[in-house]
Amino acid sequence: MGKPTGFMEYQREPKHDRQPLERLKDWSESHPAYTEETLRQQGARCMDCGIPYCHTGKLIAGMASGCPINNLIPEWNDLVYRGQWREAYIRLAKTNNFPEFTGRVCPAPCEGSCTCGLNGEPVTIKNIEVEIIDRAFAEGWVVAEPPPVRTGKRVAVVGSGPAGLACAAQLNRAGHVVTVFERADRIGGLLMYGIPNMKLDKAVVERRVKLMADEGVRFVTSTEIGVHITPDRLVKDYEAVVLCGGATAARDLPVEGRQLLGLHLAMEFLQKNTRSLLDSGLADGQYLSAKGKHVVVIGGGDTGTDCVGTSLRHGARSVTQLEILPRPPDQRAADNPWPQWPKVYKLDYGQEEAKALQGADPRQYQVLTKRFVGDAAGRVQSLHLVSVEWKKGADGRFGPHEVAGSERVIPADLVLLALGFTGPEKTLPGQLQCKLDDRGNVWTDESKMTSVPGLFAAGDMARGQSLVVWAIREGRQAAQAVDRYLSHGETVLPA
């Protein structure tokens, strides 16, 4: 695949981004373009390695390795190298319903498993992916393809995040009549309100949703199952139901001062900002503004980064990000070998922007929040933290241990809790009498069916907090299982 000597002839092309201080002036995700020659050279770097872990989608010792949806990466890299863009799009669309999403927001476990990365820089798989799909839309190759025949079988999908959309797209492709229910006012779930516009432009989401609607998928917004429609009615009206509500129960931080004003869960902050941005360009003021404030983001990961980038665009006075874990190493550690995803230090877009504006990476590692202190009006004013060391305890497990004499105080006018999620909200699974697993997620068997016949679950709701690309895989697998259930053991859908 590609050019046999391409990985030796061409260097990895860095991602084309605007300068950080320029990006902070708007909410656009626009990037400087690549030339045709550059893109073909990058495709040429994908050598015929013989062991393409990039598309395996396996967990090795609990760590991701390769693409969970088994994208045919060497094939479409080779086609890009040869200038056969439409054929590259056809290959890409075989395995991925939404490459315009994954090409923008996926952390690219495929690149972490690229053979070129063993002793050099991996192929720019993610950038090539998004260039293929963006060109396909621009050239008019992506068109609505309604199924030629309808089965008459009705399926309800609850939740319109990546798992729900992937499931709905596949079931519609099989000819079933699909209705997607979303409690928010716009379709997209996490893609719409959980990821800021500068990372995933909402016009990109709306474009795909319109395409699915043109193919026959019915979308119902501002409708919550258990509130606007009873679960009993849902199960009665549809031959199958798929729960794709995500893992939206946020992890909190129950320390002294948590009740003070100015402390918010990260998703509340991000969702209100995006809704106001879409509704009025932030003119309505219906969001949590960080302007002129000392912002403290507690927690790392993508959500923490998004809080940093959003706060900076508001005009925060300062942004500090606290992480309890140690700073990752600059190179792979001995216990994190290829082809696992490399757990190494990097500056994501938010930290890069903070460094450009404030002069340093905003993250403080190995720190633990002790308490919040407020003013006379009950609004948070400062945060007390302490350094920790990770040591083995009496039970043999590693854990954080406070460093004596390291307690200090930092200013905090706005605190955003980006501590991840504990699993799905329990109300709807409880109403439907679904069994939960030992982590509190909706239990499913290998076919994605819950403990209730005809009721399926996919994505973070069944898997727990994970990546968009895993949600797409789960949605596709659930659709295949539903098709088989409705078709008496047969299916026309790939996993």
Q: How far is CA 190 from CA 72, 267, 333, in A?
A: 26, 10, 32
Please state at what angle helix 36-44 crosses helix 73-81, rounded to 10 degrees. 140
Position 48 scores a pLDDT of 77
Question: Is the domain of 162 the same as that of 70?
Answer: no
Question: Is the domain of 75 the same as that of 109?
Answer: yes
Question: Is the domain of 406 the same as that of 436?
Answer: no
The verdict on residue 147 lying in a domain is: no
Q: Residues 394-403: contacts with CB within 8 Å, 24+ apart?
A: 400/324, 400/366, 400/368, 402/368
For the segment 54-58, the average pLDDT, to the nearest whole number, is 90
CATH number, position 401: 3.50.50.60
Query: Which of 404, 419, 434 is the last residue in one of the domains?
Result: 419
Share of the chain above pLDDT 90, in %: 92
For the segment 97-126, the average pLDDT, to the nearest whole number, is 95
Domain count, the chain: 3
The verdict on residue 432 lying in a domain is: yes
Six-digit token string for 393: 């305890």
Question: Is the domain of 381 the same as that of 326?
Answer: yes
Position 1 scores a pLDDT of 61
Question: Is the domain of 280 the same as that of 415?
Answer: yes
Share of the chain above pLDDT 70, in %: 100
Which residue's structure tokens are 């039970």? Answer: 395
298 three-class SS: strand
pLDDT-based confidence at 58, cuts 50/70/90? confident
The verdict on residue 145 lying in a domain is: no
CATH number, position 87: 1.10.1060.10
Boundaries of domain holding 99: 6-139
For the segment 405-418, the average pLDDT, to the nearest whole number, is 98
Question: Is the domain of 275 the same as that of 176?
Answer: no
For the segment 337-354, the average pLDDT, to the nearest whole number, is 95
For the segment 136-158, the average pLDDT, to the nearest whole number, is 98
For the segment 47-52, the average pLDDT, to the nearest whole number, is 83
Question: Is the domain of 233 the same as that of 258?
Answer: no
Question: Is the domain of 412 the same as that of 374?
Answer: yes
The verdict on residue 51 lying in a domain is: yes
Question: Is the domain of 362 the same as that of 274?
Answer: yes
Beta bridge partners of 298: 322, 417
pLDDT-based confidence at 49, cuts 50/70/90? confident
Question: Is the domain of 337 the same as that of 409?
Answer: yes
Distance CA 430, CA 226 (A): 10
Write the CB contacts of 305 (distance below 8 Å, at least 6 apart in sequence).
348, 349, 350, 351
Write the CB contacts of 205 (distance below 8 Å, at least 6 apart in sequence).
101, 187, 188, 191, 192
Position 454 scores a pLDDT of 97
Position 237 scores a pLDDT of 97
The verdict on residue 183 lying in a domain is: yes
Position 495 scores a pLDDT of 75
The verdict on residue 494 lying in a domain is: no
Q: Per residue in 355-377, pLDDT tens? A: 999 999 999 999 999 999 999 99
Position 277 scores a pLDDT of 98
For the segment 6-29, the average pLDDT, to the nearest whole number, is 95
Q: Per residue in 196-206, pLDDT tens? A: 999 999 999 99
Question: Is the domain of 299 the same as that of 435?
Answer: no
Q: In terms of pLDDT, which residue wins out, 395 or 298? A: 298
Q: What mean pLDDT is reported for the chain?
A: 96
The verdict on residue 189 lying in a domain is: yes
- State the DSSP H helix or E strand holding residue 296, giving kind and residue range, or none if neither: strand 294-298
CA 49 from chain center: how many Å? 29
Lowest mean pLDDT among 26-35, 138-147, 215-224, 390-399: 390-399
For the segment 277-288, the average pLDDT, to the nearest whole number, is 98
The verdict on residue 491 lying in a domain is: no
Question: Is the domain of 111 the same as that of 167?
Answer: no
